[in-house]
């Protein structure tokens, strides 16, 4: 297994759901398997979850499961064949089933958009390939002029960059999908088209309502793909457990030239929080149909690594592409190349302004001690993932981050954190026993050897959540 620190999320679909391909993806470098609930059925998703859990046990390392809710994605309805839209022609969009025949082309849509649109509002279809402009809203119809035409087929996505879409964030389908995910103990729930902190709060309440007895709460990953989410991101991050820069829809909703800077701002905010960040969409898009990526795509992956994202994500590349395993292998090579350079290093005391708590001071001390003593690893004990997040966000370059936990759920969640190598630790009754057990587990990983120095980070009393208060150097 490679020793990269930036994690890789693979979207699972028809190209990758076979158990042999799933194992190949895991061996190549997949850290998290993403299930896109916009596609597939519960039977196939449940089968993937079962297989991934078995592979995780076999490889003795966590592979997280991310459930990605569809959210209020507005789509074109069912079309027989395709509709050719020509520039300047007038078309009618409607969710109604029975419409009178007219000389104008009628386009079915899945939801009622009348209250969301007014004259001159843009309507972007199929990631902005087709561009309409609203001329009027009349009865159950939205009339629009074609600004940029093209071939239109069923189920293509619709973006309304100038409109506040008045549809529920979490639909009945999303709630059913959430219940399915919670019943199968998923580690992360990604919420699409977040617009405000209240959206995350709403999902959190639904999780509490539907969480099975004795099940662990998954981390909520807020997908940032709306202008309103960008504007209120700092507040959204207070309630979410992490964020994803979903650049596909984001690049349609805001000017594409702004996306790279938004990516950097979101990743930096997550780094300071500290909470995990994911950069997603079209990273190696040409590998859907080609065995090698473009040079620009390689640079894109490298850019996400130097931005200090916790994870990079493959979408269509592994879900429906011809070369799913090769795409992961390419991503791993790029990550390793960048991580071995100075371009991936955080400047000294980059996070000093966030060291305003005892835990932050302990994490900073652990990082400095690892450099001063040339320690081979920072070994931490975490019961909630908090200690792991605090150490990971320091981005130590020369010391491995070995995190111990006695929670299988936390063990799986740590699969998303930069540089963290999680292990299950036996329960300890005292601090001395805890440190002894941690050193023994670290030794067994072969990441450290007898005589190596390690930095121990933990808390006293033992087992208290978010209780980082001890750091010391030990010799194995």
Q: Which two tokens stand for residue 303?
A: 């850019």
Instruction: Give the integer Cα–Cα distance in Å for 251 and 285.
Output: 15
47 is known as an active-site residue? no
Q: Which of 27, 47, 53, 75 is catalytic?
A: 75
What letter does residue 353 receive in the DSSP assignment?
A: G
| Catalytic annotation, pick one of 5, 34, 247, 395 | 34
Task: Identify whether 274 is preceded by a cis peptide bond (ω within 30 of 0).
Answer: yes
Q: How far apart are CA 447 and CA 378, in angstroms?
A: 11
Catalytic member of 11, 281, 318, 405 = 281
Is residue 458 flagged as an active site residue? no
Q: ω into residue 355 within 30 of 0, thus cis?
A: no
CA pair distance 85, 420, nearest whole angstrom: 50
DSSP 461: S
**CA nearest 288: which of 319, 255, 337, 321?**
321
Contact (CB, 8 A) for 390 and 362: yes
To the query of whether residue 247 is one of the catalytic residues in this protein, the response is no
Q: Which residues of 93-124 are buried (b: 16+ CB within 10 A; e: fewer)?
A: bbbeeeeeeeeebebbbebebbebbeeebbbb
Active site residue 223: yes
At 200, list the tokens: 């995350």
Q: What is the DSSP letter of 407?
A: -
Q: Is 442 left (phi over 0), alpha (psi -120 to 50) or beta?
A: alpha
Active-site residue identified among 4, 5, 7, 223: 223
> Which residue numbers are catalytic?
34, 75, 223, 281
């Amino acid at each position: 297994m490679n020793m990269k620190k930036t994690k890789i999320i693979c979207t699972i679909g028809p190209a990758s759901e076979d158990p042999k391909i799933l194992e190949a993806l895991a061996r190549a470098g997949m850290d998290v398997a993403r299930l896109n609930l916009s596609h597939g059925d519960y039977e196939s998703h449940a089968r993937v979850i079962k297989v991934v859990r078995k592979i995780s046990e076999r490889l003795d390392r966590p592979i997280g499961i991310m459930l990605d809710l569809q959210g209020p994605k507005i789509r074109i309805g069912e079309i027989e064949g395709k509709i050719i839209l020509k520039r300047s022609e007038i078309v009618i969009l409607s969710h109604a089933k029975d419409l009178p025949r007219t000389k104008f082309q009628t386009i079915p849509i899945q939801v009622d958009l009348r209250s969301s649109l007014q004259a001159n509002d843009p309507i972007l279809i199929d990631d902005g390939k087709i561009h309409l402009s609203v001329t009027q809203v009349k009865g159950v119809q939205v009339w629009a002029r074609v600004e940029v035409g093209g071939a239109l087929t069923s189920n293509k996505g619709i973006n309304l960059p100038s409109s506040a879409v008045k549809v529920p964030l979490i639909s009945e389908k999303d709630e059913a999908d959430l219940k399915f995910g919670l019943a199968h103990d998923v580690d992360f729930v990604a919420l699409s088209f977040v617009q405000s902190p209240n959206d995350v709060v709403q999902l959190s309440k639904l999780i509490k309502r539907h969480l099975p007895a004795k099940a662990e709460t998954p981390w909520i990953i807020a997908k940032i793909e709306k202008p309103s989410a960008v504007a209120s991101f700092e507040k959204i991050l207070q309630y979410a457990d992490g964020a994803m820069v979903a650049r596909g829809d984001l690049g349609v909703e805001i000017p594409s030239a702004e996306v790279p800077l938004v990516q950097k701002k979101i990743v930096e905010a997550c780094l300071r929080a500290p909470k995990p960040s994911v950069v997603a969409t079209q990273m190696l898009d040409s590998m859907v149909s080609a065995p090698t990526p473009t040079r620009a795509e390689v640079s894109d992956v490298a850019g996400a690594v130097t931005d200090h994202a916790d994870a990079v994500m493959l979408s269509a590349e592994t879900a429906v592409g011809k070369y799913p395993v090769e795409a992961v292998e390419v991503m791993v090579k790029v990550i390793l190349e960048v991580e071995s350079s100075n371009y991936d290093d955080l400047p000294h005391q980059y996070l000093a302004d966030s060291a305003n708590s005892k835990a932050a001071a302990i994490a900073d001390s652990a990082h400095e001690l690892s450099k001063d003593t040339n320690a081979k690893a920072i070994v931490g004990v975490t019961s909630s993932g908090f200690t792991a997040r605090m150490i990971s966000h320091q981005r130590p370059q020369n010391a491995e981050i070995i995190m111990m936990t006695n929670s299988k759920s936390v063990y799986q969640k740590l699969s998303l954190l930069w540089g963290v190598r999680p292990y299950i630790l036996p329960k300890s009754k005292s601090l001395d026993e805890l440190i002894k057990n941690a050193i023994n587990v670290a030794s067994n990983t072969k990441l450290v050897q007898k005589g190596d120095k390690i930095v121990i980070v933990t808390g006293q009393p033992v087992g208290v959540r978010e209780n980082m208060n001890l750091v010391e150097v030990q010799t194995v």
